[in-house]
Amino acid sequence: MTAILTRAERPYDPADISSPEFWAGTAKDREKVFAELRANRPISWHRPVQNGLFADPNDQGFWAIVRHADLVEVTRRPQDFLSGEGILFESMPKELLDAGQGFIAMDPPRHTKIRRLVAAAFTPKQLARIDDHIIGNARRIVDDIADKGQIDFVSDVAALVPMHNICDMVGIPEEHRRTIAYESQFPDGWRDPRLLQGAEPLARVAQAILTVHGIAMGLVEARRRKPENDLVTALVQAEVDGERLSDEEISSIFFLLIIAGNDTTRQSISHGMKALTDFPEQRAWLMEDLDARLPIAVEEIIRWATPIMTFRRTAAHDTELGGHHITAGDKVILFYSSANMDTEVFDHPEQLNLSRSPNKHVAFGGGGIHHCLGAQLARRQINATFLELLTRLPDIHTVGEPELGNGNFFHTVMSMTAQFTPETSKAAAR
């Protein structure tokens, strides 16, 4: 055990993982820093993240957890490392925390009750029920691009897949879907001036939350009058230990599902398309038996993408982790993007290996009570999308480098050009 130091006494690690410049770089650039930390200082104390949404004078820094084993340990110690103080680097007022992060930023016992209720929508039986929707939406999306030859892959494919599927599941009408998809970018994208277009960050985040919550409240009211076979109806009718969920709780769950459901799958599909372009030998292996090989390939695509790069926990009390004294109230940041490149777990993690097995990635969390509820839904969507794309547009590939986001939460691809031989051209050639 090292000497016990107060937050003010702890020296900051020399590695820069707090600045906007670090997060504005590429995953490859960041990995150079993470690799050095994993090798020499796998648990380290760092300066507060810069340019946060709120100035927090009490924020003195955070512990960086960059190794796979340590990350899994923290995840599986929810009694020691809490989620209820927030899941982002930045400190948030309770009002925004409750509205924008839902039950994912709760601790037991309330988390247990709410999660159990929501989990009913993600059982294998329920997911099988919407398989036809997932396959149909993938087909519809490819139908719309098949004759174009060049597209923005993000806006024309990757962003539409989860938007339609989550909206089908939740029960969001067609007229609200593009609004929902657009507004869902701001809770993490407020750092990006390209997205903000001159708006003040806090005001724009608040606007996004209010817009989505307004849609949610309208749906809650409609489902109370006329129930449908969707998740909003299930939440309206649900009871937790004999207690009905409030409209505010339902709206918060709604917001979380929209954000988590849209961005994670969107980023995985985007990074996956780029990876299939950059590693042609892996793509060739996949195409030899697409139907059979795609499910295992999807796991590697998810590891490669790591759509959520970080998650925060907060120490519930004084405790120990890896020989370090963690003080009650300390922020502990889990770096999934680093853990998924850990050479102690993955052979040549810098290479895309679509046949990688076992694949113990932590893109859905490191296990425990906060493991991603939507993991199977994400897998089904990614599988259906690439099956449709690669069957009908087998030469689809990205062109140039993607335009990346600069946040520290989602591994965002903002836009990316893709080209392919149009189906109409192939039909004419025959």
Q: What is the pLDDT of residues 245-257, one digit of tens each?
A: 888 888 888 888 8
- What's the mean pLDDT in 128-154? 94
Q: Mean pLDDT score of the chain, rounded to an integer?
A: 90
* pLDDT greater than 90 at residue 421: yes
> Residue 95: its pLDDT value, please?
66
Global pTM reads 0.92
d(CA 95, CA 104): 15
Kindly list the distances between the CA atom of residue 352 and the CA atoms of 125, 298, 365, 400, in Å, as whole numbers in the listed order.
Answer: 32, 11, 20, 19
Q: H or E segment at 335?
A: strand 331-335
* pLDDT greater than 60 at residue 2: no
Q: H or E segment at 404?
A: strand 397-404
Q: Is the dihedral of CA 237, 242, 247, 253 positive or negative?
A: negative
Residue owning tokens 């409030």: 246
CA 24 distance to own-chain centroid: 18
pLDDT tens-digit readout, 281-315: 999 999 999 999 999 999 999 999 999 999 999 99
d(CA 146, CA 422): 6
- Joined together, the tokens standing for residue 353 give 């290996």
Q: How confident is the model at residue 235 (pLDDT cuts 50, 70, 90)?
A: confident
> Residue 283: its pLDDT value, please?
98
* pLDDT greater than 90 at residue 116: no
pLDDT tens-digit readout, 168-188: 888 889 899 888 888 887 777
The domain spans of the chain are 20-429
Q: How confident is the model at residue 428 (pLDDT cuts 50, 70, 90)?
A: very low
User: What is the three-class DSSP state of 246?
Assistant: coil
Half-sphere exposure of 281 (CA within 13 A, CB side): 4
- What's the mean pLDDT in 353-369? 94
Instruction: Report which of residues 231 and 317 the model is more confident about.
Output: 317
Q: Is the dihedral of CA 86, 87, 91, 94 positive or negative?
A: negative
**Domain 20-429 part of CATH 1.10.630.10:** yes
93-131 per-residue burial string, b: 16 or more CB within 10 A, e: under 16: eeebbbbbbbbbbbbeeebebbbebbeebbeeebbeebe
Instruction: Report which of residues 378 and 254 the model is more confident about.
Output: 378
d(CA 369, CA 115): 9
The DSSP call for residue 6 is: -
d(CA 336, CA 326): 20
> Residue 1: its pLDDT value, please?
47
Q: Are 271 and 302 in contact (CB under 8 A)?
A: no
- Joined together, the tokens standing for residue 297 give 């390939």
Instruction: Report which of residues 230 and 136 the model is more confident about.
Output: 136
Q: How confident is the model at residue 99 (pLDDT cuts 50, 70, 90)?
A: low
* pLDDT greater than 70 at residue 402: yes
Task: Determine what percent of the chain is predicted with pLDDT higher than 90.
Answer: 58
- What's the mean pLDDT in 215-222? 92
* pLDDT greater than 50 at residue 12: yes
